[in-house]
Structure 1
Amino acid sequence: MNKPTAKPHKPGSKNKRRRTRFALLREQLLPRSRALTRLARRLGIAAALILALTAGFLLYLRIQSLPASSISQTSQIYDLHGSLIDTFHTGQNRKSVALADISPHLIEATVAIEDRRFYQHLGFDVKGMTRAALVNLEHMSTKQGASTLTQQLARNLYLTHERTWQRKLKEAVYTIQLEMNYSKDEILGLYLNQIYYGHGAYGIEAASQMYFGKHASRLSLAESAMLAGIPKGPKYYSPYMDMKNAKDRQKTILQAMVEGGRISQAEADEAFREVLAFKPLAADGSGGFAPYFRDYVRQIAVDVLGIDEARLSEGGVHIYTTLDPDAQKAAEQAVKEGMPPGSEQQAALVSIDPRTGYVKAMVGGRNYKTNQYNRALAGTRQPGSSFKPILYLTALENGMTPVTPFRSAPTVFTYDGGRKTYQPHNYNNKYTGGFINMREAIASSDNIYAVNTVMSVGADKVIEMARKLGIDSPMRPVPSLALGTFPVSPLEMASAFGTLAAGGVHVKPVAILRIEDSKGEVLYQAQPEAQRVVDAAHAYVLTSMMESVFETGGTGNRVAAMIKRPIAGKTGTTSSDAWLVGYTPELATAVWVGYDKGRALTKAEEHRAAPIFARYTEQALAAVPPKMFPIPEGVVGVYINPASGKLASLRCSGSRLEMFVRGTEPTEICGAAETDVSPGTSDGGSSADEAAKRSWLDHLKRWWNH
């Protein structure tokens, strides 16, 4: 069988086929290659244009002059009548120094905490901005910022602190110009001479002199770390305002210096332990009229109303407040006269118009120049028996009346399901041994009656009442609540008693009426926040009983002769605190005296709150005619026999006009059948008008006797 012969191989045919494939591939790729070439050419042109535009923009910025620095304007604070009280600073306390005349410790501390990559970036820390953005995204809030020292300098020199995109764009442009026109050391020197260190001190030299009485060149590591932390928030990190916050910030800065390799851990620890010697804050640095009130206003403006602190200090802001200058002068004078010279005992007074909530006067201590701590706002003091009216108001709303009896005798109370006991004692261990009523308990400040009351109505309800009256400080539902064992602030107590003075209407305390910017545009306008929280009849019945505090046998009787008008109030005394909180229809005032360190009070020191209260109240209301507390609908006055709490009659000796919420007055007649009628009453009770007349006559008799 013949085998098929193979086709003859033609030389070059394989190469021809390969060339054909290459040609086809080239024809396919050539358009793409040309497209890529065109794209690359266009990108190159675009890049060149961008570079050219960027270079042109930078050249433009290079030849442009930086704007003149913005001039700070003094912000002013006005009283209730529109008269100037004070300024937040009387001009910038500033003295510029060369960078070489600033302690290297201060320079390193500032760079470590404010901008650790200052000498590496070109005005913007991209790495820092990325890190801050990730942290903020993680927490869904602005937890970290990433402004460089150059950005901060641009903002402080040329711009306001408003939060707008336009301002941020300008800040970026000025930052670039600063970096182009100045060296890093020059920028740092400008920054350290510009930044605000609190209490009117601008620049590190002024701050060093104010805080430590030395030139900035002589600052130690510990002093430098302390000062470097203040600009972030002078109100929070100033050692004059809050030493704990200042020390915490100092520790953070020292640790940042360690992490940056600027100091060792041992040096940081030694600096943190160093006890710093601060100069007393000079009067012209932060004095003026009503300085504690001024600080309170600033705190509200920044923390509550959101006014930028730098704008408040330098932006020409006008703040119109509720301060009554006559009342403030009376408050300062009363505190001064009520405390003996040389004593370390402190005092605080805050006074509110119960009808409007206006804070009329505030004294936070005896000497603002030496101590700026505002005790009028400090919720660190036990109110003692001055808290009891809140308890008794709760009791009135829950069925008790002014004649509800409890025995005044040593008593052991059990609570928490019988697992715990509580044994209160009366002041000086004085007990009547018999039954007393609510009016007598308020006047004599009987502790046994108070604890019996809280056990009857429930401590939870008392706390609920305190919240309605404006007290926000923490409390627990235990029997000792009745004796005021949980700390509150004088401002809270004045606000709560103001609710009683206003017949049960709580008006939130107001210190700022209006804020205007330098152009007169209104930034904030106060809106009244009044709410009825207590029935007017219950509030009045309690007020009537609290008037007994200033009558014979009452704990405030010693100052009754100093007060020439109807007054209701309550004293309070603990081992380290003494109070008198009281009110007229026009003014509710809380006075506290004690020691900052909680030192025990002597008998004489316990009695200093009441005269301050009395002296202030009379002087503050000197131009106001005395007024009775108005008797609202739903109140009846009946004559009762104090010993039995029943309606008075000729068969029982002794009678007294007592006020009741209608429907809660007694119906049983003392020592007689129910058909008898008590003298001086009609159908078992006198009218409210008759009660008012008798109450007024009682006041006139008391004033005449004094």
Structure 2
Amino acid sequence: MSKPGRWWKTVQKIAYLSFIGSAVVGISFVVFLFYLRSQALPAASILQTSEIVDSRGDLIDSMYAGQNRQVVAYDQISPYLTKATLAIEDHRFYDHVGFDFMGMARAAIVDFAHMSKLQGASTITQQLARNLYLSHERTWMRKLKEAVYTIQLEMQYSKQEILERYLNQIYYGHSAYGVQAAAEMYFHKNAKDLTLAESAMLAGIPKGPKYYSPYMNMTNAKARQKTVLQAMVNFDYITQQQADEAYQQPLDIKPQSGDKPSEAPYFRDYVIQQAAGKLNMTEDQLSESGVRIFTTLDLHAQKIAESVINKYVGSQGELQSALVAIDPRTGYIKAMVGGKNYSENQFNRVFATTRQPGSSFKPILYLAALEQKDLTPATMFKSEPTAFTYDNGRKTYMPSNFGNQYPNKDIDLREAISRSDNIYAVHTIMQIGADKVIDMARKLGITSSMKPLPSLALGTFPVSPFEMASSFGVIANQGVRVEPTAILKIEDSGGNLLYEAHPQEERVVDAADTYVLTNLMESVFDPGGTGFRVANLLKRPVAGKTGTTNTDAWMVGYTPELVSAVWVGYDRNRNISAVESHLASPIFAEFTEQALETVPPKIFPIPDGIVSVYIDPETGMLATTDCPSSKLEAFVKGTEPVEYCTVHGKSPMKGKPDSKDGKQENSWWTDLKRWWNE
């Protein structure tokens, strides 16, 4: 064969082998693409900022551990920002398949000319693949994986979906990840509301968050903004006039908040703990999961509580205070202050179970007695120094009244509650048995340890303010216990429901018994009552009970809409002064009135099974016209006195009784209740 013939045969063989090789490569590449299309991308853990909001949707706190991110949908992002990002990052985004080969060639030429790597050529898709699934190490294996993930992203997601993920992932400096967090941080607005000028400023930051941050260097930030605007002009996103006007527009950059304290920090901590348990997460996982926690808190009431506590305790050295307020009808926690200064001490005293409630515990004792029908408002005990024997006569208990002051006469239940008589209380517990009192405390929601001793009547066993508010809430809600609730629901970043509260309700006490007790507890704020000093602050019917020990001051009370427990004392059980012992009541009174300022005053609803009769306060019997004084008293039907007073005369009482001096000494709402009952 001649040389030209052999040469031609060789060319044919090479062409044939090349064709076969190309076909194999092509087929292999197609198979590889189908393989990638069938494979799921690695699970991408996109950390998002979680939020806690109050009952009106107002922000209590944003939670994030290192990354502040809030994911938003594509249509919730300003078109100016998407165009600005495309112009400066990847203007051929909609034209390439994940790799911009023209851009890569241009970058290679520039790098070769300068003998260094000056130009980058990563597309938005490549950057997203790197940010979602890979580290930023410079190895060939990382680059190969990035290429594979880039292809998969382009095959499995639309361009809009890729851009949406990128804009929610990219870092904008100062712990802000994604456009929503950046828009809120720099401009205090949502990403959808960004102007052209603001969008151009933000779009320029990711290239160098420290160098181009307006917080760090406004000169650099403005120069970068101008570059972005000009790129938008070059690629026909905006006109030159629009760019010039946007550059000249003043930017309202918000001051960097730094470590801004949370609203209601003690409540915030409690909610985080509760939410983490309900979702079976750690607190760190919760803060990065992008959930939205809807709570029962009323930020308006919360700020009032904090203000009032600061007013009375803020300047009192180490003296501390706690307050918790609950809507007794729903169990919703409306305010919570665990101490006067969270930044100094994060211990939440609302849940501290080391404090004796003192006389504020007595309503639980009396409710147990009313339920047993061993006690009525007309029951009389003599208040004088008394030694009580118990444990089959082997032990003696001798309580004393405050200041060793005793009426030295028979008094009824209203006077015992109003003046907080200790002798009457111990007579009561000795009559019904301490076990019955503990049973009642458990029904009302108190779980703290108690022992069946006579001293239990005087609140000698510690309970928390939370337990006291919860138990009084049952009385305020006519015997129905509603589980205290802080979290209404939890949603994920997509608005899907993860948890929803369904507070349990249970009737634990008869409504008539709770009403009789409420009616009696209103007397605490009448003349001579332990709460009378704050009666002028209260413009509505309120029932409550004070409590004082050597180390603690309490005021627990309620209206039909709100029950609050206030504690004042020292963390180290230091004795409180006489002045300090009176601080809980004004805190309670001012908070209650201000928190309910827009709520019209209401009398406590009167349930079925209540009768009202006039009694003689000296004998506890039905009053006659000959009794020097008489009062209208509410009873559970069937427990009211049936015999008329025989000490002062036998003529039945008719009409409305007056006080000894002939003047009515009760408040206007007491008159209203009397009219209602009559």
Amino acid at match of 1:341: S
Indicate the residue corresponding to 1:698 in structure 2: 670
The Cα shift of 1:700 comes to 7.0
1:93-112 correspondence runs (5 A): none
The Cα shift of 1:676 comes to 4.2
Check conservation: 2:51, 2:62, Cα contact below 8 A: yes
Indicate the residue corresponding to 2:453 in structure 1: 478
Among 374, 381, 393, the alignment partner of 1:418 is 393
- Residue 599 of structure 2 aligns to a residue in which SS? coil
Q: Does 1:499 align with 2:470?
A: no
Q: Does 1:656 align with 2:628?
A: no
Change in 2 beyond 3 A, CA 1:678/1:68: closer
Alignment partners' CA distance in 1, 2:584 and 2:423 = 24
Indicate the residue corresponding to 2:78 in structure 1: none
Indicate the residue corresponding to 1:290 in structure 2: 264
Check conservation: 1:311, 1:317, Cα contact below 8 A: no
Indicate the residue corresponding to 1:358 in structure 2: 332
Alignment partners' CA distance in 2, 1:592 and 1:378 = 10
Q: Does 1:634 align with 2:609?
A: yes
Amino acid at match of 1:374: N
The Cα shift of 1:308 comes to 3.7
Indicate the residue corresponding to 2:419 in structure 1: 444
Question: 1:213-269, CA deviations, whole angstroms, 9 ceiling, x for partnerless residues?
Answer: xxxxxxxxxxxxxxxxxxxxxxxxxxxxxxxxxxxxxxxxxxxxxxxxxxxxxxxxx
Question: 1:302-335, CA deviations, whole angstroms, 9 ceiling, x for partnerless residues?
Answer: 2355344233110101100000111111111111
Indicate the residue corresponding to 1:453 in structure 2: 428
Indicate the residue corresponding to 1:513 in structure 2: 488
Q: Does 1:329 align with 2:312?
A: no
Among 565, 570, 573, the alignment partner of 2:545 is 570
Alignment partners' CA distance in 1, 2:493 and 2:332 = 25
Alignment partners' CA distance in 2, 1:370 and 1:90 = 21
Amino acid at match of 2:397: Y
Check conservation: 2:473, 2:563, Cα contact below 8 A: yes
Alignment partners' CA distance in 1, 2:366 and 2:269 = 35
Change in 2 beyond 3 A, CA 1:612/1:675: closer
Change in 2 beyond 3 A, CA 1:318/1:295: same
Indicate the residue corresponding to 2:642 in structure 1: 667
Check conservation: 2:469, 2:565, Cα contact below 8 A: yes
Check conservation: 1:579, 1:609, Cα contact below 8 A: yes
Gaps of 5+ in 1: 1-63, 94-156, 160-169, 171-176, 182-199, 201-282, 686-693
Deviates more, 1:472-481 or 1:667-676: 667-676
- Residue 392 of structure 1 aligns to a residue in which SS? helix
- Residue 447 of structure 2 aligns to a residue in which SS? coil
Change in 2 beyond 3 A, CA 1:603/1:86: same
Alignment partners' CA distance in 2, 1:391 and 1:306 = 39
Deviates more, 1:322-331 or 1:539-548: 322-331
Indicate the residue corresponding to 2:164 in structure 1: none
Indicate the residue corresponding to 1:522 in structure 2: 497
Among 373, 376, 380, the alignment partner of 2:354 is 380
Check conservation: 2:541, 2:601, Cα contact below 8 A: yes
Alignment partners' CA distance in 2, 1:306 and 1:699 = 54
Amino acid at match of 1:288: S
The Cα shift of 1:91 comes to 4.7
Amino acid at match of 1:591: V
- Residue 349 of structure 2 aligns to a residue in which SS? coil
- Structure 1 length-normalised TM: 0.60
Alignment partners' CA distance in 2, 1:651 and 1:300 = 61
- Residue 351 of structure 2 aligns to a residue in which SS? coil
- Residue 578 of structure 1 aligns to a residue in which SS? strand
Check conservation: 2:513, 2:636, Cα contact below 8 A: yes
Amino acid at match of 2:345: N
The Cα shift of 1:518 comes to 1.6
Check conservation: 1:651, 1:671, Cα contact below 8 A: no
Among 371, 383, 386, the alignment partner of 2:345 is 371
Check conservation: 1:547, 1:567, Cα contact below 8 A: yes
Check conservation: 2:626, 2:650, Cα contact below 8 A: no
Among 607, 612, 619, the alignment partner of 1:644 is 619
The Cα shift of 1:597 comes to 0.5
Indicate the residue corresponding to 2:124 in structure 1: none
Aligned length: 452
Indicate the residue corresponding to 2:367 in structure 1: 393
1:65-104 correspondence runs (5 A): 70-89=45-64, 91-92=66-67
Indicate the residue corresponding to 2:462 in structure 1: 487
Amino acid at match of 1:439: R
The Cα shift of 1:425 comes to 1.0
Alignment RMSD (CA, Å): 3.1
Gaps of 5+ in 2: 1-38, 69-130, 135-140, 146-174, 176-256, 658-665
Alignment partners' CA distance in 1, 2:667 and 2:476 = 17
- Residue 553 of structure 2 aligns to a residue in which SS? strand
Change in 2 beyond 3 A, CA 1:79/1:658: same
Amino acid at match of 1:345: L
Amino acid at match of 1:568: A
Alignment partners' CA distance in 1, 2:537 and 2:309 = 15
Amino acid at match of 2:616: N
Check conservation: 1:651, 1:672, Cα contact below 8 A: no
- Residue 302 of structure 1 aligns to a residue in which SS? helix
Alignment partners' CA distance in 2, 1:566 and 1:493 = 20
Alignment partners' CA distance in 2, 1:373 and 1:697 = 40
Alignment partners' CA distance in 2, 1:662 and 1:696 = 25
Alignment partners' CA distance in 2, 1:591 and 1:614 = 10
Check conservation: 2:624, 2:649, Cα contact below 8 A: no
Question: 1:390-427, CA deviations, whole angstroms, 9 ceiling, x for partnerless residues?
Answer: 00001111121011111111111111111111111111
The Cα shift of 1:697 comes to 4.9
Indicate the residue corresponding to 1:309 in structure 2: 283
- Residue 579 of structure 2 aligns to a residue in which SS? helix
Indicate the residue corresponding to 1:532 in structure 2: 507
1:578-657 correspondence runs (5 A): 578-657=553-632
Indicate the residue corresponding to 1:349 in structure 2: 323
Among 561, 566, 571, the alignment partner of 2:536 is 561
The Cα shift of 1:698 comes to 3.0
Alignment partners' CA distance in 1, 2:422 and 2:479 = 25
Check conservation: 1:439, 1:548, Cα contact below 8 A: yes
Change in 2 beyond 3 A, CA 1:520/1:308: farther
Amino acid at match of 1:602: S
Indicate the residue corresponding to 1:339 in structure 2: 313
Alignment partners' CA distance in 2, 1:285 and 1:420 = 58
